[in-house]
């Protein structure tokens, strides 16, 4: 069950799910290089885990792509209430969707409920450094031309905050890390066109519902080129991938020691002299 329903609170609808579905439906298979990069990243991590997973579920907005990459997995769409059975899987992958979720903790809670004890969650999605160049250029351009700002790029979490999502969702041994991918384009217009082709264009609930003024986009492209041009006379675009790793709690997992239960002194382990702290002047 969705965490927001369990708490009795209604989550703010940051993402327009109907618009998101339309954007994804228009995506072109040859443009899904972000999905390709995420799948390669997850496969590398799975190769490092000394375990064979027998029942895999994948939550994604691009089920056809991920079914091709993991043909033996159960692949479901990233709806608000996930089509997952409790305790049915030893591995759940949440793939490139959490940055669009209205209730990210609720998504992770549902994934944990779907895991067997000591089952693994791998969650990969776009983080806060993604498209920072485009975000800054559009904001400056719109402020210059219209004197205001409109929501254009989805708010994405920073790595320092996202690790706490796993703990809030009840996972054991939580780990969060990030990697960056830099793509280059002829100009900002080519980047924005590519975002539409990959289904990652604006689906915010508060987005403007009319065409953006051409002079805003032209100004943004100029600002982008002035500030983010690379040595090949193209412009760079950053994509940050956040990966969350957590395990469904189980008694077999390592447990932290109780405070004061240590049987050896740290000074002995380090081979140093322990100097008492003089607090006589406190």
Condensed to tens digits (0 to 9), the pLDDT of residues 164-212 reads 899 999 999 999 999 999 999 999 999 999 999 999 998 888 777 666 6
pLDDT at 267: 55
Q: Which residues contact 194 (CB under 8 A, 6 or more apart)?
A: 31, 185
pLDDT at 279: 46
Say whether 181 sits in a helix, a strand or coil.
strand
Q: How far apart are CA 21 and CA 190, in angstroms?
A: 22
pLDDT at 251: 86
pLDDT at 5: 40
Distance, C-alpha 182 to centroid of its chain = 17
pTM exceeds 0.85:
no
Q: Are 120 and 247 in contact (CB under 8 A)?
A: yes
Q: How far apart are CA 111 and CA 78, in angstroms?
A: 11
CA distances from 107 to 28, 99, 170, 176 (A): 26, 11, 12, 16
Least confident of 17-21, 154-158, 248-252: 154-158
């Amino acid at each position: 069950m969705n965490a927001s329903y369990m708490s009795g609170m209604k989550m703010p609808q940051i993402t327009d799910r109907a618009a998101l579905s339309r954007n994804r439906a228009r995506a072109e298979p040859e443009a899904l290089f972000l999905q390709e990069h995420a799948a390669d990243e997850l496969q590398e991590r799975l190769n490092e885990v000394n375990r064979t997973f027998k029942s895999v579920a994948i939550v994604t907005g691009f089920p056809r792509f991920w079914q091709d990459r993991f043909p033996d997995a159960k692949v479901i769409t990233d709806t608000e209430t996930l089509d997952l059975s409790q305790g049915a899987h030893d591995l759940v992958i949440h793939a490139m969707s959490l940055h669009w979720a209205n209730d990210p903790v609720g998504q992770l809670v549902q994934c944990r409920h779907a895991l067997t004890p000591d089952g693994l969650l791998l969650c990969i999605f776009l983080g806060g450094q993604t498209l920072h160049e485009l975000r800054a250029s559009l904001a400056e351009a719109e402020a210059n031309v219209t004197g205001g700002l409109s929501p254009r790029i989805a708010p994405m979490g920073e790595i320092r905050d996202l690790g706490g999502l796993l703990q809030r969702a009840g996972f054991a041994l939580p780990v969060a890390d990030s990697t960056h991918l830099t793509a280059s384009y002829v100009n900002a217009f080519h980047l924005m066109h590519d975002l539409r082709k990959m289904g990652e264009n604006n689906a915010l609930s508060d987005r403007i519902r009319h065409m953006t003024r051409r002079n805003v986009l032209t100004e943004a492209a100029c600002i982008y080129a002035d500030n983010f041009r690379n040595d090949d006379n193209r412009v760079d675009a950053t994509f940050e991938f956040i990966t969350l790793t957590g395990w469904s709690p189980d008694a077999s997992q390592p447990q932290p020691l109780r405070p004061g239960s240590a049987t050896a002194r740290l000074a002995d382990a380090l081979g140093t002299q322990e100097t008492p702290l003089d607090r006589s002047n406190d």
